[in-house]
Amino acid sequence: MNEAETHLYQREGAYIPRVAAVHDLCGYGKCSLGVAIPVLSAAGCDVCPVPTGLFSSHTAFPGWYMHDTTEILADYLNAWKGIGVEIDAVYSGFLGAPEQVDRIRDLYAMYPNALRVVDPVMADHGKVYPTYTPELCSAMAELACGADILTPNLTEAAIILGEPIGEDWGGTDISDEEAHRLVDALVAKGAKHVVLKGIQREGESCIRNFVGGKDCEAFEAHNEYLPYMLHGTGDLYASCLMAAVMAGRSLQEAVAFAGDFVHDAMLVSAEQPDFKDRGVSFEPLLGKVCELL
């Protein structure tokens, strides 16, 4: 083991860790729980879903239907308390309402030793997602500051830090110094480790992910940039990162694994019909996740 690498979860023998996955469920368009459940299961985790909403499809399709589950979540989690469910990690992503952040805090209180992984899904390329109100963005920003591992893209990092987005957003072409500044600023706000996603420099044909944080050697991994975008790749990235961490890999290894896996899944996706709409396809690659163990 490289001393400079950061391990946040020690996998013990045959033990199957249990992960509470707090994400939405999408009927069509692979993303969120549809990604987290298979990926983490392939990494030998027992995934316990906490659905934040039920969607007919991801929100890039016109005419999606959403059922907000906020009302049921307190009873849902209380019932877990009643039967003594044990949880080793809380992994949250897409949320439906600011009150859902309170339910995630309830989970933190119920499982104070669980690893806290926050994918602060809110926005991309300078734009906030259509279901995210300003109240939900500020609640998500607060949650982000309590994460053991925080995985923002650059727009989400700006929102959490209260820096401008929209017309004034700086884009994905950021220097190493700027990546360090953003990570340091997020750590100063309370996040322990930060994986900054999707750095793309002008004139380069690669996409970079950068990790840094508390007692963590800064590390950057890069992959070939593919000239299309798919929905669900952010969820797939965070789920693969989490899968590798829960398999006992270092954060640095996890950052590299997740970038490689998403790249390969994007190639698999491009061979499918309607590939730009269907969400990311990765099913034939799940064996690579099993190999983490």
Ligand X SMILES: Cc1ncc(COP(=O)(O)O)c(C=O)c1O
Residues that bind ligand X (CB under 6 A): 24, 26, 31-32, 55, 58-60, 94, 121, 231-235
Q: What φ, ψ does residue 265 adopt, rounded to 5°?
A: -65, -35
- Taking residues 177 to 216 in sequence order and writing x for each that binds ligand ADP by CB under 6 A, - otherwise, the string is --------------------xx--------x-x-------
* Ramachandran angles phi, psi of 65, nearest 5°: -110, 135
266, interface contact from ligand ADP, ligand X, none, CB < 5-8 Å by kind: ligand ADP
DSSP lists the bridge partners of residue 26 as 55
Q: What does the longest C-alpha to C-alpha distance in the chain come to? A: 56
In the stretch 259-278, what mask flags binding to ligand ADP with x, by CB under 6 A? Answer: x--xx--x------------
Neighbour count for residue 154 (Cβ, 10 Å): 25
Per DSSP, which regions of 29-125 are E strands? 46-57, 66-68, 89-92, 115-118, 123-124
Helix (H, G, I), strand (E, B) or coil at 197: strand
- What residue 136 binds from ligand X, ligand ADP, none (CB within 5 to 8 A, per partner kind)? none
What tokens were used for 70? 């906020």
The strand pairing partners of 160, in sequence order, are none
| Of residues 15 and 228, the one with the C-beta less far from ligand ADP | 228
**Cβ 69 to ligand X shortest distance, Å:** 12
233 binds ligand ADP, rule: CB under 6 A: yes
Q: What residues line the site for ligand ADP (CB under 6 A)?
A: 124, 153, 197-198, 207, 209, 223, 225-226, 229, 233-234, 237, 259, 262-263, 266
